[in-house]
Amino acid sequence: MKVVVWKFGGTSVADPARLRAAAESMAAAQRAGDRVVAVLSAMGATTDELVALSRAVSSRPRLRELDALLAVGEAVSCALAAMAVDELGLRAVSLTGVQAGILTDDRHGNARLREIRPLRILEELDTGAIVLVTGFQGISPAGDVTTLGRGGSDASAVALAAALGLRECQIFTDVDGVFTADPRVVAGARKLPAVGRAEMLHLAAAGAAVLQPRAVELAIAHDVDIHVRSSFTGAAGTWIVEEAGMFETDDVVGVAHRDRESCYAVRDLSPAAVIAALAGRGSAVGTVERHGGEVLFTAPGLAETEVVAVLAAAGVEVAVRDEFGTVTVVGHGLDRRPEVAARALLALERDGIDPHLVTTAPGCVSFRVPAARVRAAVRLLHDLFALHGAETVDRDLAAVAAP
């Protein structure tokens, strides 16, 4: 009997009906001969509700206590799912991150995985149980509960697959897979049957919320393929694989965006000091630049309140600006294709969209644009690179520049 690792996101276990549906899928897999390990997120908006509760009693809750609170959401999902499996005539056991052997560092709220010792998981599988593991959490060297940051259940699942010696991990969510753009923004967005891990990492880091960037990093490090698919339809989704059949291809894979990406301004602090302060919190700066007497920077993946708290601890006041968002074109070898950025800039300018900052990396080109124009920019660039069809980016630059 082969072992499979599945992950169910918050929308996939949002209510009792969805929990029962997930339980039925796991039961069917076990009856078909698989040994099932499932990582569950908190139900629906539970995590947000717990955060709101914490803010109702404390303006700045200590991160250790916040972790202790937030870890409850996944425990509820797993316990209820185990009950649902029992109702189907099979046996399931729910394990917290601590019980599952998920060891982290001591950075509360954004802990890094150090090791997974899946002995209890293997023992329970040997008894014939379906094993349900709380995502998003582990235990610090001091024995405290830690959480892995937003979307951390994705990382938990990929790491568990690697620890169990598996080459793939199934992630069930509320979308059919990875698209060339957010289908809620671009009606013609196309589902991709496969995406290279490097390209997926750029898409996730640029705002494609279907998968957490750290999960993709773990997949790269441990050679784990990820299948992102819908828990609502059961249809094949998108495989995140090593190269997705690409070899020196110039295709643009997709366009990702953030409607708003907060930009922070500080005075009397160097860029190095800003980077060091956030690094101490386990977070990285996105972009940093000097502008007059200010240092402007972004911190993707970190909540505004956390950024302000980190800098406040260093005695620095932070101004938050949210008038910009980002649009990112992702592909292979775009740093060797300057015409991609040139074409995009020409198209944006002709549509009256003036990028405030352009950043180029080997796999992506990112534009900071006014928040009110982000979605228009996404649609424009999606059409420009013909992502709704099979065409590639290899067109004549002069044709685009022509009136």
Boundaries of every domain in the chain: 3-174, 253-258+324-401, 263-320
Secondary structure (3-state) at 217 = helix
- Mean pLDDT in residue range 318-328: 90
- Mean pLDDT in residue range 88-100: 97
Residue 401 pLDDT level (bands cut at 50, 70, 90): very low
- Mean pLDDT in residue range 359-365: 89
- Mean pLDDT in residue range 171-199: 94
- CA–CA separation, 312 and 324 (whole Å): 23
Residue 17 pLDDT level (bands cut at 50, 70, 90): very high
Residue 403 pLDDT level (bands cut at 50, 70, 90): very low
Q: Which two tokens stand for residue 355?
A: 């990028």
Residue 325 pLDDT level (bands cut at 50, 70, 90): very high
pLDDT tens string 101-142: 999 999 998 899 999 999 999 999 999 999 999 999 999 999
Residue 402 pLDDT level (bands cut at 50, 70, 90): very low
- CA–CA separation, 292 and 49 (whole Å): 40
Instruction: Tell me phi and psi for residue 106, to 5 degrees.
Output: -105, 25
Q: What is the mean pLDDT of the chain?
A: 90
- Calculate helix-pair angle for 197-205, 213-222, nearest 10 degrees: 160
- Beta sheet of 357-361, edge-to-edge order: 252-258, 324-331, 364-370, 357-361
User: How large a percentage of the chain has pLDDT more than 70?
Assistant: 94
Domains 253-258+324-401 and 263-320 share a fold: yes
- Beta sheet of 263-267, edge-to-edge order: 288-291, 294-298, 263-267, 319-321
For residue 324, the cross-strand partners are 370
Q: Is 310 left (phi over 0), alpha (psi -120 to 50) or beta?
A: alpha
Q: Is 311's pLDDT higher than 60?
A: yes
The reported pLDDT for the residue numbered 167 is 96
For residue 36, which of 80, 87, 1 has the smallest C-alpha distance? 1
Residue 277 pLDDT level (bands cut at 50, 70, 90): confident
Q: Which two tokens stand for residue 224?
A: 């784990």
The reported pLDDT for the residue numbered 243 is 78
Residue 395 pLDDT level (bands cut at 50, 70, 90): very low
- Mean pLDDT in residue range 362-389: 93
- Mean pLDDT in residue range 146-150: 91
CATH of domain 3-174: 3.40.1160.10
- CA–CA separation, 77 and 84 (whole Å): 11
- Mean pLDDT in residue range 351-373: 91
The reported pLDDT for the residue numbered 42 is 96
| Sign of the torsion formed by the C-alpha atoms of 298, 299, 304 and 307 | negative
The reported pLDDT for the residue numbered 19 is 97
pLDDT tens string 228-272: 999 998 889 999 999 765 544 557 999 999 999 888 999 888 899
- Mean pLDDT in residue range 183-198: 94
The reported pLDDT for the residue numbered 151 is 84
Q: Is 284's pLDDT higher than 80?
A: no
Superfamily of 253-258+324-401 according to CATH: ACT domain (3.30.70.260)
Q: Is 91's pLDDT higher than 60?
A: yes
For residue 46, give the H/E element and its range. helix 46-57
The reported pLDDT for the residue numbered 292 is 81
- Mean pLDDT in residue range 161-178: 96
Architecture in CATH of 263-320: 2-Layer Sandwich (3.30)
Residue 196 pLDDT level (bands cut at 50, 70, 90): very high
Q: Is 15's pLDDT higher than 70?
A: yes
User: How large a percentage of the chain has pLDDT more than 90?
Assistant: 69
- CA–CA separation, 63 and 226 (whole Å): 31
